[in-house]
Structure 1
Amino acid sequence: MRRTARSAARLASLALLLAAAACAAPASPREPPIAYPPSVRARMLRIAEAEWAEWGRLAAGPGLPHLSSGAEGAIEAFPRVLAYWRAVPEEEATSAIARNRARWSAELGGTPREGVWSEPAWSAAFVSYVMRAAGVDEREFHPSASHAFYLDAILRDAAEFPARAPFLPHDPAGRAPEPGDLICADRSRRPLASWRDRPAEAGRFRPMHCDIVLRTAPGVAEAVGGNVADAVTLTLYATDAAGMVLPRGPGEPVVFAIIENRLGRLPPFQPALIISERRG
């Protein structure tokens, strides 16, 4: 018993020493993000729109009819959602994929199992898939099954590498969304008032949802997202005369951030992009 107690004490002391050493050791500098050509943004938008088309071009928003749920359990949907989950880190995707493969196998075997892909939510996996398929490396966009966690990585880069970060946060009243931007909303009971409130709780889960802006027009921003009415759906966001997203109605998730997409708009590609836009 005494040996066991002494061994436990030694292990505890060693753990404390290692923890102290880790705190004392200077943090190694992080690798700065790299720049991408404009073709990556264009590919990202093509992929997002193609996925939306495969799901039937469903649309949601003010004045539109309510969408029925259940599309994620359809035959054609299984490999689509599986592809989205394969884009997130294995440790996040393994259990979700295993459970839903079992449900799907039961369906194929003639034993109906409701709820294929009904959980966990796959909207963040969809955004991760679009970024990965477009060629954005995990250093520049941290794929995750949670919007909150890839947003944490975006905010950290914006703070540490403001001149080189591929994504920058803005308040909804501070930026009119453009194609490729993310519109992010908080689905919790006590939503964030601003993205500036997120770093204080970084690393903790918070229910969120982000859509990828496809295009804008006077009075509306059209953005596509996953797991909206159990499908990849286009959501219409009302905007004011300056193009800013307007506050949503009671009970709707609160938009707290517009994430500016700077893929293809940072040096050395920025001058070429400006020239091509002028020619256009």
Structure 2
Amino acid sequence: MLAYWRATEEGEAAIARNRARYANALADPGAPASLWSEPAWSAAFISYVMRGAGVDRREFPPSAAHAFYIDGMMADARDFPATAPFLPRDWTGYAPQPGDLLCADRSRRPLAHWQARWAEIGQFRPMHCDIVVAAGPGVVEAVGGNVADAVTLSRFPADAAGRLLPRAAGGPAWFAVFENRLGRLPPWQPQMQPMAQPQMQPGGPLPPGTWRNAS
């Protein structure tokens, strides 16, 4: 948990608060103690994973709140659409892939589309994101933090094309899928090298597995 919080700028305050709770629990063993129950640490977990993967702060601005690193990814995609490492996608039309971020709005009045966030960018909004680890027809699997107070693998229903299905009414609503393009942009994009073709002389030997018609 300490490592998660230390991946964010707000982490030291959260660590100090929970250390004080721990000291109080030692001083009064009979008192109820709920270490790390707050502040919520799901965004700190995502920030920790990105930091551990070597993603720098400009590409993914770590934060204790999902809404604020989402704002950073959106602004980067707006300003540098050709090179931004994360692109917001409409969750109804894009099939998530491993490495993408699934983001949901947990507020009472969830935003209908990620573009609606521009009107309130910089303001806190309760959200949650998970990292896709597997995807295919019928299901998308993703890992997130602070789900049932643990790092948890969740399985979300998808259609035959792998696109997310709407979530149950009254709960978190899908906000966007952020396509992860890290490692797939120049200069790191793999380049296919043309395969050299053997130069054959008429009547010479043939490459293995080929046939010559007799005439």
Q: What band does the TM-score fall into relative to the shorter chain?
A: 0.7 to 0.9
Letter in 2 for 1:85: W
State the match for 1:83 in structure 2: 3
| Distance in 2 between residues matched to 1:274 and 1:202, nearest whole Å | 43
Q: Contact 1:184–1:210 (CA<8 Å) still a contact in 2?
A: yes
Alignment gaps of 5+ in structure 2? 195-215
Q: Contact 2:130–2:142 (CA<8 Å) still a contact in 1?
A: yes
Letter in 2 for 1:96: A
| Distance in 1 between residues matched to 2:133 and 2:193, nearest whole Å | 20
| Distance in 2 between residues matched to 1:202 and 1:263, nearest whole Å | 24
| Distance in 2 between residues matched to 1:136 and 1:219, nearest whole Å | 30
Letter in 2 for 1:268: P
Name which of structure 1's ranges 247-256 and 188-197 shifts more when overlaid on structure 2. 247-256
Q: Shift in Å at residue 271 of structure 1?
A: 2.8
How big is the alpha-carbon RMSD for the aligned residues of Structure 1 and Structure 2? Answer: 1.7
Q: Contact 2:136–2:161 (CA<8 Å) still a contact in 1?
A: no
Shift of the 96–273 alpha-carbon distance from structure 1 to 2, 3 Å rule, reads farther
Letter in 1 for 2:20: A
User: Is 1:258 aligned to 2:177, yes or no?
Assistant: yes
| Distance in 2 between residues matched to 1:219 and 1:109, nearest whole Å | 52
Q: Shift in Å at residue 137 of structure 1?
A: 0.7
| Distance in 1 between residues matched to 2:73 and 2:20, nearest whole Å | 34
Q: Shift in Å at residue 109 of structure 1?
A: 5.3
Select the residue among 78, 83, 101 that pairs with 2:19: 101
Q: TM-score, normalised by structure 1?
A: 0.66
Letter in 1 for 2:146: N
Of all paired residues, the percent bearing the same amino acid is: 65
Select the residue among 58, 78, 88 that pairs with 1:159: 78
Can you list the C-alpha shifts for 1:239-272, whole angstroms capped at 9, x where unaligned? 0011100001122200110000001000122234
Letter in 1 for 2:15: I
Higher helix share: 1
Shift of the 93–219 alpha-carbon distance from structure 1 to 2, 3 Å rule, reads same
| Distance in 1 between residues matched to 2:61 and 2:105, nearest whole Å | 19
Alignment of 1:118-267 (within 5 A): 118-267=37-186
Q: Contact 2:140–2:155 (CA<8 Å) still a contact in 1?
A: yes
Count of residue pairs brought into register by the alignment: 193
Q: Contact 2:88–2:176 (CA<8 Å) still a contact in 1?
A: yes
Alignment gaps of 5+ in structure 1? 1-80, 276-280
| Distance in 1 between residues matched to 2:148 and 2:52, nearest whole Å | 23
Instruction: Specify the SS of the correspondent of 1:210.
Output: strand
Q: TM-score, normalised by structure 2?
A: 0.85
Letter in 2 for 1:252: G
Instruction: Specify the SS of the correspondent of 1:156.
Output: helix
Instruction: Specify the SS of the correspondent of 1:185.
Output: strand
